[in-house]
Amino acid sequence: MSRITRRESIAALAAVALQAAPPAYPVDLVERHDESVSRMLQAQVTDPASPCRGGTPDTFGLHHAGTAAGMIESLAASFLCPQSKHHQQRELLESIRLASGFLERIQLPSGNINLLSTNFNSPPDTGFVSFPIANAIRMAQLHQHLELAAIPANFLRKAGAALAVGGVHTPNHRWVISEALAMIDEVLPDPRYQRRIAQWLAEGIDIDSDGQYTERSTSIYNTVVNRALTVLAIKLNRPELLEAVRRNLDAMQYLLHANGEVVTEISRRQDRNERGDLTNYWMPLRYLAIRDNNGRYATMANIAAVRGASLAALMIYPGLNQPLPAGSPLPDNFVKEFPVSQTVRWRRGATSATLSLAPGARIFSLHKGEAAIQAVRFASSFFGKGQFIPQRSEKIPGGWRLTQVLDGPYFQPFDPPRKITAANYDATRQERKQSEVCHLQQTVEVTESNGRFSLTFDSRGTDGVPLAVEISFRAEGTLDCPAVLNKTYAAYRAGGSTITFGPGNLPVPHTWTQIRGSEPELPGKSVYITGLTPFRHTLTFE
């Protein structure tokens, strides 16, 4: 008689528990999930003659592996959930077969898939696609539904073999692949998977003293890494992996605007300066709120749950179904510096501001409820290189000063003469003697007092240089001034909130806003304060 493994014993006990007392999942979550499944069923290609049968087209007519995999997970959850209106509907099984068949047809001989938007023969994207499929099989195993568990198993087995040898090209991919292998190993065990996970984990977790992972991607890849480490901690019984997750979640408490948006100015990835929220932090937040009895995590988890709660996760991880502890208030009155990412954050209730000390044109942003200044920038026409990019920063009473120093030389002929060609002109330019050298020093001082922010712009050295300060607002709000501020104070209104700003530089010196050498105007609505050097002007925002 063969021995029952610990893994099989746990699975059997879980299945018995499910049969004895099926968990009651949130009614609104199940209803939203069912609505999503109904839309998926309508969108799936079912034409037997179509090479994309089983897939779902995007707006460009492309059929992605990730969409089919997500459909398999969602349909499996509805099929197995007793509260779902789709519970035990055979139609869902047939749609799962179609989606699985589509995935098997587009799976490469290597076992990988292509991410049509950018990555091909991609192990990391195979990992992302494996998550929902492994979840579907796990749910089926827990409910002892062998037919469902078998449908996508062939794809997942081949994917696992690819992930056991596949490489990465961004830091988070290591943890994506490790998470996928842990999930696959749970449903289709293979000793290669644990060996490969151990190789990646041996590198250590890449989290800095600011509580940020290498990519600092607050709305995308932070969430990817946090989930991966949480899943690995659970499935490998490695609770020490949760420490990095805690550090990141603690940091994120200071990177939230009052309306729940996250600060993305520090990101090194595609979400930089884009809108983001806590949605995809839900699973680690809820898990650690319950495990640690952490009220702040509970508050954040409730914010994330609005769009991030997952029926499949609740069905797979019983611990997530336990009640959350009582929520605790999040920090909303602070000044906090993040030295590694060179960022300063202020919260004063509904007002939230971010100052970037790092080299970059967007130096300041401000949120007040739904009203948002997405960037303040500063540029002069000094030799076409006067876009203000801070070269150094220093603390001053009540705030910070950012400084840029520029030179604009002219060049003398070589003496004695040298042969200069098109090929060597640029390389030899700095060897020439300089003359008529122009200088410009530009500073921005940012200070705050009780939620009122003052930005003082100073540009001096060479006289008569045109310049413009740009204040970029989101498109959906309304302004009560023209593009060049021609009055003392103006207001921007959005969603019932108002940001007052000014004064303008009166009388308006000029109306040139797209300064030569400056970065293009940002999308949205921009207001400018213009001037000529020597220039010193203080703007306030409240």
Q: Please state, for a pLDDT cut of 70, what percent of the chain lies above it.
A: 96
Question: Do 317 and 394 sit in the same domain of this protein?
Answer: no
Query: For the segment 123-160, what is each residue's pLDDT rounded down to a tens digit?
Result: 999 999 999 999 999 999 999 999 999 999 999 999 99
Share of the chain above pLDDT 90, in %: 95
Q: Is the same domain home to 491 and 343?
A: yes
Does residue 2 have a pLDDT over 50?
Answer: no
Question: How is residue 51 annotated by DSSP?
Answer: T
**Average per-residue pLDDT in the chain?**
95
Half-sphere exposure of 282 (CA within 13 A, CB side): 18
Q: What is the mean pLDDT of residues 455-474?
A: 98
Residues 370 and 462 grouped into a single domain: yes
Last residue of a domain, one of 204, 229, 250: 204
Distance from C-alpha of 356 to C-alpha of 333, rounded to nearest angstrom: 19
Read off the tokens for 304.
């994330």
- The Cβ-side half-sphere exposure at 451, using a 13 Å CA radius, reads 14
Q: Look-up: residue for tokens 């990412």?
A: 341
Listed in sequence order, the residues at least 6 apart from 346 whose beta carbon sits closer than 8 Å to its beta carbon are 334, 335, 352, 353, 354, 355, 448, 453
280 and 341 share a domain? no
What average pLDDT does range 426-453 have in this prediction? 96
Q: How many residues does the chain have?
A: 542
Q: Which CB contacts under 8 angstroms, 24+ apart, belong to 234-242? A: 234/287, 234/317, 235/182, 235/183, 235/185, 235/186, 236/182, 236/197, 241/201, 241/205, 242/288, 242/291
Query: Quick check: 297 and 266 in contact, CB under 8 A?
Result: no
Indicate if the pLDDT at residue 18 is higher than 90: no
- The strand pair at 535-541 and 452-461 is best described as antiparallel
What pLDDT does 356 receive? 98
Q: Has residue 21 got a pLDDT over 90?
A: no
111 plus 177 within the same structural domain:
yes
CATH classification at residue 140: 1.50.10.20
- Per-residue pLDDT reduced to its tens digit, 161-215: 999 999 999 999 999 999 999 999 999 999 999 999 999 999 999 999 999 999 9
For residues 248 and 179, membership in a common domain is answered with no
DSSP for 283-331, written as a single string: HHHHHHHHHHT-HHHHHHHHHHHHHH--HHHHHH-GGGGSPPPPP-PPP
pLDDT at position 6: 47
Instruction: Tally the domains of the chain.
Output: 3
Last residue of a domain, one of 297, 314, 331: 331
C-alpha–C-alpha distance, residues 407 and 256, integer Å: 39
For residue 24, what pLDDT is reported?
86
Tens digit of each residue's pLDDT (9 = 90 or more) over 93-110: 999 999 999 999 999 999
Six token digits for residue 161 = 């073999």
Q: Do 355 and 416 reside in the same domain of the chain? A: yes
Q: Residue 25 corresponds to which tokens in the numbers above? A: 């999942």
- pLDDT tens, position by position, 44-99: 999 999 999 999 999 999 999 999 999 999 999 999 999 999 999 999 999 999 99
Q: What is the CATH number of the domain that holds 369?
A: 2.70.98
Residues 155, 35 share a domain: yes
**Pair (106, 236) in one structural domain:** no
- Whether residues 31 and 75 share a domain: the answer is yes
Helix axes 171-187, 191-201, angle to 10 degrees: 150
* Domain final residue pick, 279, 306, 331: 331
Structural domain of residue 280, as residue ranges?
Answer: 206-331
Whether 182 and 230 share a structural domain? no
At 23 the pLDDT is 78
324 and 359 housed in the same domain: no
The dihedrals phi and psi of 377, each to the nearest 5 degrees, come to -130, 165
Instruction: Report whether pLDDT(465) > 70.
Output: yes
> What whole-number distance in Å separates Cα of residue 348 and Cα of residue 338?
18
* pLDDT score of 316 more than 60: yes
